[in-house]
């Protein structure tokens, strides 16, 4: 029983308490001093820039090579912060909208660039490019360049580009006597998927994970090639038109009849795993997927262009590019880094130091003429660059549309709209409602958005 | 010690108030300033993506809420989620606490391992559940269930609320267990022995002696737990992203979607204000009628 | 111990261990996933028997992780300290020598937890921006203090209610002032309760993600941000994520396990009779 009368800690416990508090305080003060309160670089002439980047293998490589940049430019320190895509987009949007200056450079996509350039949120990079004679902006793949421009000026420089393609297991298809043409139609793909589908191997992996950049990316390309569109020229929502409905029904039915289990939560990573584990025979997704293949999947894969129906060249277009806020106070330092990271020299550096398979795809035409890259990137390099070259964000659909964007509609509201609509489709995949019910809800949501653009 | 009968402005009253002031002022400043701003924003239509859209809108945001189906779904999901998680984790926590309070081998180690779910980062825990345990293709659970024919069941998509409740119960049961165990361990074993001698069986001892003693702890656990579970966000964000459809969207998640997917700050603020009002009403009712621990008097 | 009691003990132990195993298994699985290679971590069927490798742990550790952990430690320890320093007197004023409207004060403290974070975040973010407090680990600590203070006051109050009345009478008769009262009587008696409260505050602060991601960028980024930086959009990452999660949870896990004895004692002391 404790001696409550005295109520005093004995010497030992008292010292323990003091010691613990002292240690705690030391950690706090040191920690505070070390981590610092915001920014602050080294010497008086050095600048610290913070790059907010999406996490993908190419960005991981960039992080590894930052040392090379800093030895060449000792007055600039680069902090790279990586976040998952949706977190990144939210943080950067907030940062730029509120001019809070947390980031001096960020990776943004073809979705944000035109919108933000119009609002004056990001810096026009054309003058900076003009000052660098070795940059060669003409070498940038034209479709990508156009997607990152506004009023013919480049507002972000491309770091990574992709389109979509069909990947398939030649061996599994051959076992059923099927060969896949280079430019297949969706009907051919569906037939092949159903033929190959069994209890141990699914016919095809298609994204079902809700999200405007997840499920809707491939789905929108299907909509486009089936002749559908999100809005007509007068911004009336078109989600209940026969073409749109037939595309969505086709996609969801293909998933249900020959798709992977857990499709409702399958994004890029899940399908990649399924394909690598030989659990699916085909996969329609980003062109960069093939660089992650291992084992049997890597040895036996064939590549075809994105399947079509009534419109040719249905592949999507996406690029991650480096941009800077127009309110930035460190534009020159930021540009120095962006220049370095998207230059031909960087591509060579990656190839030599990390291996040619690590080179960021889909940005420069010259990359595809490098012999070592052609060898390492193999069969899908041509499909990649051709798909990107033929992806036109200004004419994504059969009928004309008032918006740009292939796998998205380039308006501010699309993030929320796309997320909501894809959730409704996910519910259909899970068996919770019919396609018609989902489309009715989606139409209402889209109509509310379209109204804002009708003059 | 009863509150002094001295006047509110007497010296004694101020001496009592002084220790409270630092914490009170601190919390007041750091929480009420943003809250006042939130209320202020709720009367404006403001979309962060549209520069220059900050315009007075009166009660428009609130009017929109009345017709908004998503709000009703979110409220329902919040209630369902909170009640399920609290109820199940209390029952489980009680069961495990009773086990740990009796004669078993390796009590210390058991307790140690039992705490682990509560210490893991919620984000990491939810991802591990979603991708490596519940995933139909490479998750462990469907693999173990495949001999029973349940191998292809997509738990997260077909039973989303069950999945979210499961992960949350997994997280919060240790918390309940700890609190209830503390209560059980303060129980005087002689009373239980006397009851057994008197012929009471296990169930009677439990109901008549153990349960009343443990009740305040259950209440404390339920109260503190509810404060956090009602704000469940990380698990939903990582596991189901509010879906499919809106099946697992609760109020905090809906707010997140409105504020950071749509960047509709005005509407998000209105939802926040309504959430506070509703929670205040429910909490006031619950604290005054259900919880005996809210008494101020110290019991001696 | 007689045969029946022994049988009882064995049955209960078996039952208990099954339940504990089920609860602990996801954590164990996470540790194991970190020791696999990426293809193994996401294989179909799941890889149960494998040769452990530290490859992914090395990849995770080769990144710049110390700053994240230091920031988390700073924010967590500082906020916990503040909770104790502010919360103990406040709890005192709500239990031992209660103020007149103690019940309302208590309710007010809890009510600050009613507003979902997404609603208060934009005002906080804009305020932090204007006060130049973005990416500042001390600002983050201040926010965490706010989050944990109601919980701390509530718990500490419960512990204080345990102290026998007569001790204070004796002290007062001896002429002890308020400050003396706290240091010589209160703190020693509720030391386990202080440990329990500190641990809970530490856990919540360390694991907090959303305020951290919104209010910091590089200098003040915390452990949860380190964790999510491994979630890749275009590559395999489960093994790395599991390794990072193991590392990120390690400090709190260790603190929890070491202090769990204190935790139980503290909660026993905080028994609301």
pLDDT at B272 over 90: yes
Phi, psi at residue C51, to the nearest 5°?
-90, 120
pLDDT at C213 over 80: yes
Of A260, A413, A426, the CB nearest to B243: A426
Pick the CATH number of B69-294 from 1.10.3720.10, 3.20.20.450, 2.60.120.330, 2.130.10.10: 1.10.3720.10
Fold of C64-269: MetI-like fold (1.10.3720)
pLDDT along chain A (455 residues), means of 10: 38 48 57 47 67 92 93 92 92 92 94 95 95 92 94 95 96 94 96 93 94 95 96 95 96 95 88 92 94 88 95 94 94 95 95 92 93 86 92 93 95 94 93 95 95 90
Chains that touch A (3 or more CB pairs under 8 A): B, C
Residue A191 lies in a domain: yes
**Angle CA A178–A377–A212, to nearest 5:** 75
Contacts of C1 (CB under 8 A, 6+ apart): C9
Number of domains in chain A: 2
Across the interface, do B20 and C93 touch by the CB < 8 Å criterion?
A: yes
Same structural domain, A405 and A264? yes
Q: What global pTM score does this model have?
A: 0.88
Alpha helices by DSSP H, listed for C35-65, are 38-41, 55-62
Distance CA B162, CA C25 (A): 19
Distance CA A66, CA A105 (A): 14
Q: Is B204 helix (H, G, I), strand (E, B) or coil?
A: helix
Upstream peptide bond of A20 is cis (omega within 30 degrees of 0): no
Same structural domain, A139 and A254? no
Q: How far is CA C38 from CA A85, A308, A451, B79, C45, in A?
A: 21, 34, 47, 39, 14
Q: Which residues of B touch A429 (CB under 8 A)?
A: 157, 244
Residue A1 lies in a domain: no
Query: In chain C, whose CA is at the least distance from the CA of B227?
Result: C113
Confidence band (pLDDT; 50, 70, 90) for C1? low
Question: Would you mind telling me the total number of residues written for chain C in this entry?
Answer: 273
Across the interface, do B157 and A264 touch by the CB < 8 Å criterion?
A: yes
Distance CA A190, CA C23 (A): 43
Residue ranges per domain, chain B?
A: 69-294
Of B49, B157, B261, the CB nearest to A262: B157
Q: What's the confidence (pLDDT) of residue C7?
A: 86
Closest CA to A128 of A153, A104, A148: A153
Q: Which residues of A touch C187 (CB under 8 A)?
A: 9
Query: Which of A422-431, A439-448, C131-140, C245-254 is least confident?
Result: C245-254
Indicate which of A2, A5, A7, A273 best probes the interface with C, i.e. most C CBs within 10 Å of its own CB: A7
Chain centre distance of CA C159: 19
Q: Average pLDDT of C16-24?
A: 92
CA-based end-to-end distance of chain A: 82
Exposed, middle or buried, A245 (CB in 10 Å: 0-12/13-18/19+)? Answer: middle
Q: Which residues of C touch A288 (CB under 8 A)?
A: 234
Where b means 16+ CB within 10 Å and e means fewer, B200-216 reads: beeeebeeebbeebbeb
Same structural domain, A279 and A329? no
Alpha helices by DSSP H, listed for A215-262, are 216-225, 242-258
Residue A21 lies in a domain: no
Q: Is the dihedral of CA B94, B99, B102, B108 positive or negative?
A: negative
| DSSP state, residue C209 | -
Query: In chain A, whose CA is at the least distance from the CA of C191?
Result: A17
Residue ranges per domain, chain C?
A: 64-269
Closest CA to C231 of C245, C250, C221, C249: C245
Q: Domain range holding A352?
A: 47-155+318-376
pLDDT at C95 over 70: yes
Across the interface, do A288 and C234 touch by the CB < 8 Å criterion?
A: yes
A432 part of contact set with chain B, CB < 8 Å: yes
The complex scores an ipTM of 0.85
Distance CA A284, CA A303 (A): 10
| A82 touches A54 (CB < 8 A) | yes
Number of other CB atoms surrounding residue B58 within 10 Å:
10
C151 part of contact set with chain A, CB < 8 Å: no
Residue A14 lies in a domain: no
Q: Is A248 helix (H, G, I), strand (E, B) or coil?
A: helix
Same structural domain, A208 and A310? yes
Q: What's the confidence (pLDDT) of residue B294?
A: 57
The tokens 């960069």 sit on which residue?
A: A288
| DSSP state, residue A54 | E
Q: Per-residue DSSP letters for C123-140?
A: HHHHHHHHTT-TTBHHHH
Residue A406 lies in a domain: yes
CATH number at residue A342: 3.40.190.10
Chain centre distance of CA A89: 10
| Residue C63 token pair | 């990144």
Same structural domain, A305 and A344? no
């Amino acid at each position: 029983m404790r001696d409550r009368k005295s109520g005093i800690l004995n010497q030992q416990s008292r010292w323990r308490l003091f010691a613990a508090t002292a240690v705690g305080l030391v950690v706090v003060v040191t920690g505070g001093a070390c981590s610092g309160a915001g920014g602050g670089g080294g010497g008086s002439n050095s600048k610290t820039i913070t790059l907010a980047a999406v996490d993908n293998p190419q960005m991981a490589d960039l992080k590894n090579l930052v040392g090379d940049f800093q030895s060449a430019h000792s007055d600039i320190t680069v902090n790279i912060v990586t976040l998952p895509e949706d977190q990144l987009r939210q943080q950067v949007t907030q940062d730029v909208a509120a001019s809070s200056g947390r980031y001096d450079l960020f990776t943004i996509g073809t979705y944000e660039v035109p919108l933000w350039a119009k609002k004056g949120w990001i810096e026009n990079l054309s003058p900076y490019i003009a000052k660098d004679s070795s940059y060669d902006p003409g070498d940038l793949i034209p479709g990508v360049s156009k997607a990152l421009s506004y009023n013919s000026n480049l507002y972000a420089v491309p770091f990574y580009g992709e389109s979509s393609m069909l990947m398939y297991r030649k061996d599994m298809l051959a076992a059923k006597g099927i060969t896949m043409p280079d430019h297949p139609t969706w009907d051919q793909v569906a037939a092949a998927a159903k033929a190959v589908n069994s209890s141990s191997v699914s016919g095809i992996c298609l994204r079902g994970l809700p999200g405007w950049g997840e499920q809707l990316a491939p789905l929108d390309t299907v909509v486009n090639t089936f002749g559908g569109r999100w809005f007509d020229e007068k911004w009336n929502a078109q989600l209940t038109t026969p073409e749109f409905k037939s595309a969505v029904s086709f996609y969801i039915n293909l998933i249900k009849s020959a798709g992977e289990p857990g499709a409702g939560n399958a994004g890029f990573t899940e399908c990649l795993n399924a394909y690598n584990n030989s659990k699916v025979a085909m996969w329609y997704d980003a062109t960069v997927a093939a660089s992650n293949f291992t084992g049997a999947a890597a040895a036996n894969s064939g590549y075809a262009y994105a399947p079509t129906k009534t419109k040719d060249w249905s592949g999507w277009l996406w690029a991650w590019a480096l941009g800077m806020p127009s309110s930035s106070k460190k534009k020159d330092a930021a540009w120095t880094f962006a220049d370095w990271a998207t230059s031909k020299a960087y591509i060579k550096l990656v190839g030599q130091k990390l291996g040619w398979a690590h080179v960021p795809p889909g940005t420069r035409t010259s990359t595809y003429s490098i012999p070592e890259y052609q060898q390492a990137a193999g069969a899908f390099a041509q499909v990649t660059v051709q798909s990107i070259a033929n992806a036109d964000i200004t004419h994504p659909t059969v009928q004309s549309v008032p918006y740009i964007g292939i796998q998205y509609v380039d308006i501010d509201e699309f993030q929320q709209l796309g997320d909501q609509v894809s959730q409704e489709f996910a519910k259909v995949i899970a068996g919770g409602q019919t396609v018609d019910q989902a489309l009715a809800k989606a139409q209402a949501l889209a109509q509310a958005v379209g109204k804002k653009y009708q003059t | 010690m009863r509150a002094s009968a001295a006047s509110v402005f007497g010296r004694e009253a101020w001496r009592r108030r002084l220790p409270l002031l630092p914490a009170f002022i601190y919390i007041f400043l750091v929480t009420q300033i943003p809250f006042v701003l939130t209320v202020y924003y709720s009367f404006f239509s403001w979309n962060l993506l549209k520069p220059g859209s900050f315009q007075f809108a009166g009660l428009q945001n609130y009017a929109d809420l009345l017709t908004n189906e998503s709000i009703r779904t979110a409220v329902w999901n919040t209630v369902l989620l909170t009640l399920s998680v609290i109820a199940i984790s209390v029952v489980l926590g009680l069961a495990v606490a009773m086990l740990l309070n009796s004669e078993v081998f390796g009590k210390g180690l058991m307790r140690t391992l039992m705490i682990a779910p509560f210490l893991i980062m919620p984000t990491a825990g939810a991802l591990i559940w979603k991708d490596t345990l519940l995933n139909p293709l490479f998750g462990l659970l469907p693999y173990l269930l495949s001999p029973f024919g349940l191998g292809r069941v997509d738990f997260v998509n077909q039973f989303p609320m069950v999945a979210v409740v499961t992960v949350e119960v997994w997280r919060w049961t240790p918390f309940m267990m700890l609190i209830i165990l503390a209560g059980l361990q303060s129980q005087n074993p002689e009373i239980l022995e006397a009851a057994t001698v008197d012929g009471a069986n296990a169930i009677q001892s439990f109901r008549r002696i153990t349960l009343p003693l443990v009740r305040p702890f259950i209440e404390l656990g339920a109260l503190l737990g509810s404060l956090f579970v009602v704000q469940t966000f990380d698990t939903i964000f990582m596991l189901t992203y509010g879906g499919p459809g809106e099946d697992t969207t609760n109020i905090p998640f809906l707010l997140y979607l409105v504020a950071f997917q749509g960047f509709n700050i005005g509407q998000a603020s209105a939802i926040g204000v309504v959430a506070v009002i509703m929670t205040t009403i429910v909490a006031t009712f619950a604290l005054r009628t259900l919880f005996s621990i809210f008494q101020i008097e110290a019991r001696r | 111990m007689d045969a029946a009691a022994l049988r009882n003990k064995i049955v209960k132990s078996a039952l208990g261990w099954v339940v504990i195993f089920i609860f602990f298994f996801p954590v164990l699985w996470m540790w194991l996933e970190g020791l696999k290679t990426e293809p193994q971590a996401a294989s179909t069927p799941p890889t149960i028997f494998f040769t452990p490798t530290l490859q992914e742990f090395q990849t995770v550790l080769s990144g710049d992780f110390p700053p994240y952990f230091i920031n988390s430690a700073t924010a967590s320890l500082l906020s916990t300290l503040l909770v104790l320093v502010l919360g103990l007197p406040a709890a005192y004023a709500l239990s031992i020598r209660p103020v007149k409207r103690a019940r309302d004060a208590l309710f007010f403290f809890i009510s600050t937890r009613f507003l979902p974070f997404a609603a208060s975040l934009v005002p906080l973010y804009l305020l932090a921006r204007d006060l130049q407090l973005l990416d500042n680990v001390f600002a983050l600590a201040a926010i965490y203090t706010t989050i944990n203070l109601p919980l701390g006051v509530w718990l500490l109050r419960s512990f204080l209610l345990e102290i026998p009345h007569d001790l204070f009478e004796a002290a007062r008769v001896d002429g002890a002032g308020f400050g003396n009262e706290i240091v010589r009587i209160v703190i020693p008696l509720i030391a386990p309760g202080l440990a329990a409260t500190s641990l809970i505050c530490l856990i919540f602060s360390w694991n907090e993600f959303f305020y951290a991601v919104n209010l910091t960028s590089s200098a003040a980024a915390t452990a949860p941000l380190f964790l999510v930086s491994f979630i890749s959009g275009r590559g395999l990452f489960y093994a790395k994520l599991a390794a990072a999660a193991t590392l990120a949870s390690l400090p709190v896990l260790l603190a929890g396990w070491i202090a769990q004895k204190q935790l139980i004692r503290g909660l026993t002391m905080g028994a609301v009779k």
